Structure 1
Amino acid sequence: MDSVTQAALGAAVAGLIAGKKCSPKVLLAGAALGTLPDLDVLIHYGDPVSDMVKHRGFSHSIFVLLPFSWLLALVWQRFKPTVFSFMHLWFLVAACLITHPLLDSFTSYGTQLLWPLSASIAVSSIFIIDPIYTVPLVVMVLASLLWREKGAKLCGIGLGLSSLYLTWSVVALSMVENRVENQLVGTPLEAQPVFIAPTPLNTVLWRIVVLDGDTYWEGLTSLLDDNPHIDFIAKDRGKWPLQDKPQHLLMLEQFTQDFVKYQHIENRLTATDLRLGVAQYLPFSFQFAQQNTGHEWQFGLPIAIESPNVRIKHVPALWLRLLGNQAIDANLCHEAECPKLERSAQAAIIAG
């Protein structure tokens, strides 16, 4: 999640745990602790793919944060004594640190909560920025600065409201999963890998990606749709044209669970993460090989490719789609890709 959300979450957690000892200093410390795990973005691993894959790694692991919180509380108590007992202080510090990766695990990016184990957890029920989750935390933390005697209670209310919304996001995801499963059953895509994620800033409009060899099918569905039917659009996924794959590409494939789009653009071979983004706005795209003048492919460190800017005309279209206007689905794809909706007989089967 974004830094404002993590700071507000850390402050609210600190205020609630502090109880009657809640103060502006406690809230400020909680906000700082809440953003601390994301300082790993300052670490450069040598290339953009490694930076992407290794973000939310060791700094988001409960196996690291638990002993680190103990050490931090010990140093804090030693050099700046507080009104808290050591165990109370340790609990406060640990809670502020660990709620950060716990919240991150509900996004699509993936969080290595169990690092050094390789498992990455991504519930994918909430977008990385969602004001409906963040606003109650911010409002109640600010209110606790004005009414200090009720600080802990106000922080608790903020956490309760945001947690209810987070719970709703999981329920909404389950509803969309059932909708997708019901539509794909009995079609050629029934057993294919499916990725589902909310579109930016909400948990009402959802994006679905289904892998199908060198094709992927993309659709949008809103919980406000009168008709639960999803209009899937077929898009080229491509395939890696060379016999060997560079190690960084294998890293990206593992990180994305193979939700990758391959492209041969002029003299470059690129791969794009299909999970993060919406429609044709996919921000994580990388160049892995380039052809020299002798038409031989040369591999080097991957290079990040600048993503296209969001077209202003698509913003109101997304809003209308969220409200249940299914007639504009095709307008949200790139003009050159829209005709592929009927690219094969399979399209007719999936479209119903």
Structure 2
Amino acid sequence: MDTGTHVVMGLALGGLATLDPVVASSSATATSVMIATLVGSQAPDIDTVLKLRNNAVYIRNHRGITHSIPAVLLWPLAIIAVIYPIFPDANLLHLWLWTFLAVFFHVFVDIFNAYGTQALRPFSSKWVALGIINTFDPFIFAMHIVGILAWVFGAHPGYTFIGVYAVLVAYYIFRFITQRKVYHAVKKLVPDATDIIIAPTMKFHQWRIAVMNKNQFFVGRAHDNKVRILDQFKRVAVPETPVLEAAKLDKNLSAFLSFSPVYRWEVDEYDTYYEVRFIDLRYRSNGHYPFVAIVQLDLELNILSSYTGWIFSEEKLRKKLDIIPG
């Protein structure tokens, strides 16, 4: 989920903690738990700072080790190590329990996004992405704001957020059912599909669709369970040519390939260089595919320049990292 949603979820968990008799009976425990749930709800996303280095490092590592099983166990200890000395009268066990819940909840809700997490590391590096909830879901955020406002105006925070989360559990179940209807509609349209990727959007009834069968890629949109195919591409395996093998050594393309499950590729040859482009098919927007990796190599197959990330115009792409004009 986005940062704002994780913040309000941290506040909500702090509110729920007031139902814990140990927390409710101690001001030191209550205050430390509120701080810990806010920090714990953000801690796994500390890897966002990797974007300051470059997109390749960010793409390869975001929601990776910081969302793994060892991290979920270690984050609460690290947070408590800072908070507990400030509130030595707090109940250590209950402080740990609520901090752990905040960290676990962060990773758990991220699994429902299309981006997903590597939450099964170190047992598996597979990305777990259920594609049910958009990274920012207006309804989920709004329900938390309603709960927080009710708290501010005097409602009991614990009972308030029990009600909020009861509604949200029903909402998640409804979204899952809706996604399954879209899946079956896609299966009817492309009965020989080998892979179907369904991703939510900010619009409640709309979904992005990327489908593969043995010979083609299909890209489309679904409104409820009505699917419309917008683009089709011939599925061509990436050959082991010298140009492509050299391009795969580039850190940006390597990061792209570690993250993207469905893409098409292009190789263009110019007078003095080659240009290799990989295009993720999951994020079609206004007829454009903005998530790409591009590598330029000289005729001796030395890498001249490269880029991976979100680009919404060719002009901006050409400005990145001094890429040679095509």
Q: TM-score range by the shorter chain?
A: 0.7 to 0.9
Alignment match of 1:253 (pick from 248, 253, 257): 257
| Worse-superposed segment, 23-32 or 58-67 | 23-32
Distance 1:36 1:122 in 2: 20
Q: Secondary structure at the match of 2:129?
A: coil
Q: 1:154 to 1:229 in 2, by over 3 A?
A: closer
Alignment match of 1:233 (pick from 218, 225, 231): 231
Is the 8 Å Cα contact of residues 214 and 239 (structure 1) preserved in structure 2? no
Q: Which residue of the partner structure matches residue 158 of structure 2?
A: 152
Structure 1 residue 235, shift from structure 2 partner: 3.6
Deviations 1:16-62 (Å, cap 9, x if unpaired)? 12326577875555333212211111135964223112100111123
Alignment match of 2:194 (pick from 189, 192, 195): 192
Which residue identity does 1:144 align to in structure 2?
W
Any residues of structure 2 matched to 1:96-107 within 5 Å, and which?
A: 96-107=102-113
Is the 8 Å Cα contact of residues 33 and 99 (structure 2) preserved in structure 1? no
Q: 1:166 to 1:207 in 2, by over 3 A?
A: same
Distance 2:297 2:75 in 1: 47
Q: 1:176 to 1:78 in 2, by over 3 A?
A: same
Is the 8 Å Cα contact of residues 127 and 201 (structure 1) preserved in structure 2? yes
Structure 1: 5+ residue runs without aligned partners?
A: 310-352
Q: Which residue of the partner structure matches residue 72 of structure 1?
A: 79
Q: 1:24 to 1:278 in 2, by over 3 A?
A: farther
Deviations 1:147-194 (Å, cap 9, x if unpaired)? 1x6011112222222232222221111111111112222xxxx14322
Which residue identity does 2:88 align to in structure 1?
P
Structure 1 residue 209, shift from structure 2 partner: 1.2
Distance 1:166 1:67 in 2: 28
Q: Which has the higher contact order (CA 8 A, sep 6+)?
A: 1
Structure 2: 5+ residue runs without aligned partners?
A: 25-29, 314-326
Alignment RMSD, CA only?
Answer: 2.9
Deviations 1:260-282 (Å, cap 9, x if unpaired)? 22234665212122224545343
Structure 1 residue 250, shift from structure 2 partner: 4.6
Q: Which residue of the partner structure matches residue 263 of structure 1?
A: 266
Q: 1:94 to 1:300 in 2, by over 3 A?
A: farther
Q: TM-score, normalised by structure 2?
A: 0.78
Distance 1:138 1:282 in 2: 34
Q: Which residue of the partner structure matches residue 308 of structure 1?
A: 312
Distance 1:222 1:171 in 2: 14
Structure 1 residue 126, shift from structure 2 partner: 1.4
Q: Which residue of the partner structure matches residue 282 of structure 1?
A: 289
Equivalent residues, number: 295
Structure 1 residue 220, shift from structure 2 partner: 1.6
Q: Secondary structure at the match of 2:84?
A: helix
Distance 1:278 1:16 in 2: 39
Q: Secondary structure at the match of 1:233?
A: strand
Distance 2:170 2:285 in 1: 26
Structure 1 residue 113, shift from structure 2 partner: 0.8
Q: Which residue of the partner structure matches residue 219 of structure 1?
A: 220
Q: 1:80 to 1:263 in 2, by over 3 A?
A: same
Q: 1:71 to 1:304 in 2, by over 3 A?
A: closer
Alignment match of 1:87 (pick from 93, 108, 114): 93
Q: 1:105 to 1:78 in 2, by over 3 A?
A: same
Distance 1:60 1:301 in 2: 31
Q: Which residue of the partner structure matches residue 177 of structure 2?
A: 171
Distance 2:132 2:160 in 1: 26
Distance 2:259 2:310 in 1: 20
Q: Which residue of the partner structure matches residue 7 of structure 2?
A: 7
Q: TM-score, normalised by structure 1?
A: 0.73
